[in-house]
Amino acid sequence: TRVTAEWQGQERVWRLAYASGQDTLEMGFRTTFEREVLWHQQLNPSRVFAYQRVNGAWPWPPLGIDLDNPLGQMGKAARLEKGGAVLEKGEGQMGLLRVEPVTGTYEGMNPFPDPMPFELRTPEGMVVRAEGPLGCGRITVRPREGRLWVDYQLPPPTGAPGEAQLQARLPELYAPDQDVVAAQRHAARALLVSGLPQAPTVVLNGAPLTEPLARFEAGGRTWWRVPIVREMPVRPSVFGG
Buried b (16+ CB within 10 A) or exposed e, 137-163: bbbbbbbeebbbbbbbbbbeeebbeeb
Tell me: the pLDDT tens digits for 175-186?
A: 666 777 777 777
Which pLDDT score is estimated for 179?
74
- Taking the chain (241 residues) in consecutive chunks of 10 residues, what is each chunk's mean pLDDT? 94 96 95 66 73 92 90 95 96 94 96 89 97 93 97 79 76 71 82 97 95 94 92 54 47
Q: What is the pTM of this model?
A: 0.76
Q: Which of 197, 111, 207 is nearest to 150 (CA)?
A: 207
Q: Which of 163, 186, 167 is nearest to 175 (CA)?
A: 167
C-alpha–C-alpha distance, residues 1 and 21, integer Å? 7
Residue-wise DSSP of 187-219: S-SEEEEESSSSPPEEEETTEE--SPPEEEEET
Any residues with CB less than 8 A from the CB of 22 and at least 6 apart, and which? Answer: 55
C-alpha–C-alpha distance, residues 103 and 194, integer Å? 20
> Does residue 143 contact residue 124 with C-beta atoms inside 8 Å?
yes
Any residues with CB less than 8 A from the CB of 216 and at least 6 apart, and which? Answer: 222, 223, 225
CB-CB neighbours of 57 under 10 Å: 7
Which pLDDT score is estimated for 115?
86
C-alpha–C-alpha distance, residues 123 and 106, integer Å? 10
